[in-house]
Amino acid sequence: MGAYIIRRLLLMIPTVFGIMAISFLITQFAPGGPVEQALANISGQNVDMAERITGGGGGDLIGQPNQAGNTTGYRGSQGLPPELVSRIEKQFGFDKPPLERFGMMLWNYLRFDFGDSYYRDISVIDLIKEKMPVSISLGLWMTLIAYGVSIPLGIRKAISDGSRFDVWTSTVIIVGYAIPGFLIAIMLIILFAGGSFMSIFPLRGLTSPGFETFPWWRQIIDYFWHLVLPIIAMGLGAFATTTLLTKNSFMDEIGKQYVTTARAKGLTEHQVLYGHVFRNAMMLIIASFPGAFIGAFFGGSLLIETIFSLDGLGLLGFQSVANRDYPVVFATLYIFSLLGLIIALVSDLAYMWVDPRIDFESREV
């Protein structure tokens, strides 16, 4: 297994390189980059923006005629002196060729040096740390609760396939899956967060004002009380997917010959189900875990964060792409890619824990 782990770790290098190279290439052709946005602000006589970007001394250049015309190739640079455009390019690091910028970015990222945000007076790593608690809270608890409820429920549905319990639970989870999460969030706010009916749960944030002064037990209660509505809104779709996947996987295994043989040997239903079927049926569930975790942790909470005023990584990523804040965009992409590949490796290793018959040494990557 050691050789397999080493091969997988080495394979992460070209994989991450390819992800970053393709993303970097796309940004080179995307309109409205940071330089163009800065030029557009300056063209609109936003003197404060000009002085902030150029570090002062740029305001006297605004409005001066550009005798050379628009030779920079940037939209919005008409009428602006080339000296000002050069300062802005240097400020954002666009004064170097693309290949040199890409090489510098990779070298810095290998040392986990992500630089500073273009539009916020803070380093990228500190910005990510600042937003991480929200995403950790939403992704971790939603995934644990979803799997903790869905797996037992899926097993129960497989055992009682076709019963009244199976029918009404399937109806509930399918309806919940069909309704978009943001609509469920709005409905929960209307019903339980001071909308038109009850005001039981808080509407915004992860903690209440004065959280630092609360005793530890009240801090725990307050923290989870703020998570109830966002977790419900995010989790209904995950409940449906994991529950039905568990049920179908168990039903497929229950119908196999080895189950009939185990029953013929006189094993109890509990021994057959959890001693033989469970190990094989859980293979698909484990295989789906990395995608579910990564989706919930990084990408699945944008609308929920917006609706419940939770400032996490989902909202940060969207705002960074919209504002062309490339240091934040590439840093989050780099970190998320690494974590995704590592979690996928952990998932493969979990296969061996579930089924020791799997031989990683003979497996080709």
Q: How do residues 233-274 score in pLDDT, each as one tens digit?
A: 887 777 888 888 888 888 888 888 888 888 888 888 888 888
3-state DSSP assignment of residue 193: strand
Query: Are 191 and 59 members of one domain?
Result: no
pLDDT over 70 at 226, yes or no? yes
| Per-residue confidence band for 355, with pLDDT thresholds at 50, 70 and 90 | low
| The predicted structure's pLDDT at residue 56 | 46
| 176 and 298 both lie in a single domain | yes
Say if residue 90 is in the same domain as residue 189: no
Instruction: Report the pLDDT averaged over residues 72-76.
Output: 54
> Are residues 257 and 314 part of one domain?
yes
Q: Which residues pair with 193 in a beta bridge?
A: 199
| Boundary (domain end) residue, out of 59, 82, 98 | 98
Q: Quote the domain boundaries for residue 70.
A: 31-98
Average pLDDT of the residues in 56-70: 40
pLDDT at 52 over 50: no
In a domain? residue 256: yes
The answer to whether residue 66 sits within a structural domain is: yes
Radius of gyration of the chain (CA): 27
Q: What is the pLDDT of residue 357?
A: 66
User: Are both 136 and 81 inside the same structural domain?
Assistant: no
Specify the CATH number for the domain of residue 246. Answer: 1.10.3720.10
Please state whether 59 falls in left (phi above 0), alpha (psi between -120 and 50) or beta.
alpha
Give the pLDDT mean for 62-66: 38
pLDDT level of residue 60 (50, 70, 90 thresholds): very low
Q: Are 276 and 339 in the same domain?
A: yes
State the chain's maximal CA–CA distance in angstroms.
Answer: 94
Q: What pLDDT was estimated at residue 340?
A: 80
- Domain membership flag for residue 16: no
Long-range pairs, 337-346, Cβ under 8 A, ≥24:
337/15, 337/16, 337/19, 337/20, 338/12, 338/16, 339/294, 340/290, 340/294, 341/12, 341/15, 341/16, 342/12, 343/289, 343/290, 343/293, 343/294, 344/290, 345/5, 345/8, 345/9, 346/290
Helices 326-354, 124-159: axis angle to 10 degrees equals 30
Q: Are residues 236 and 141 in the same domain?
A: yes
Q: What is the mean pLDDT of residues 338-355?
A: 76
Token output for 213: 């002064």
Q: Is residue 20 part of a domain?
A: no
State the average pLDDT over residues 94-103. 83
Q: Is residue 26 part of a domain?
A: no
Tell whether 92 and 186 lie within a shared domain.
Answer: no
Residues of the chain with pLDDT > 70: what percent?
75
Which of 98, 133, 152 represents a domain boundary (last residue)? 98
Written as six digits, the tokens of 284 are 């698909």
Question: Environment class of residue 324 by beta-carbon count within 10 Å: exposed (0-12), middle (13-18) or buried (19+)?
Answer: buried
Model confidence over 100-159: pLDDT tens digits?
A: 888 988 998 988 888 888 878 788 899 888 888 888 888 788 888 888 888 889 888 988
pLDDT at 24 exceeding the cut of 70: yes
Q: Residue 101: which region, alpha, beta or left (left: phi > 0; alpha: psi -120 to 50)?
A: alpha
Q: How confident is the model at residue 360 (pLDDT cuts 50, 70, 90)?
A: low
What is the DSSP track for 97-165? -HHHHHHHHHHHHHTT---B-SSSSSBHHHHHHHHHHHHHHHHHHHHHHHHHHHHHHHHHHHHTTTSHH
pLDDT tens digits, one per residue of 276-314 = 888 788 777 776 666 666 666 665 567 788 888 888 887
Q: Which range has the worst mean pLDDT, 50-54, 59-63, 116-120, 169-173? A: 59-63
Between the ranges 32-41, 87-96, 104-113, 204-213, where is the mean pLDDT highest? 104-113
On the CB side of 78, how many CA atoms lie within 13 Å of its CA?
Answer: 2
Question: Is the same domain home to 186 and 41?
Answer: no
How much is the average pLDDT of 328-337?
87
How many Cα atoms within 13 Å fall on the side-chain side of residue 174?
A: 7
Same domain flag for 176 and 263: yes
d(CA 226, CA 321): 28
Do 160 and 249 belong together in one domain? yes
Task: Look at residue 103 and tell me if it is in a domain.
Answer: no
pLDDT at position 86 over 80 = no
pLDDT above 60: residue 187: yes
CA–CA gap between residue 98 and residue 281 (Å, rounded): 49
Cα–Cα distance list, 319 to 275, 315, 332 (Å): 49, 6, 12
> In whole angstroms, what is the distance from residue 183 CA to residue 303 CA?
10
* Tally of domains within the chain: 2
Same domain for 81 and 183: no
Q: Is residue 152 one of the residues assigned to a domain? A: yes
| Residue 44 covered by a domain | yes
For residue 10, the surrounding DSSP H or E stretch is helix 2-29
Q: To 5 degrees, how large is the angle CA 205–CA 209–CA 213? A: 125
Q: Can you tell me the mean pLDDT for 347-361?
A: 68
DSSP code, position 182:
H
Q: Please give the mean pLDDT across all residues of the chain.
A: 78
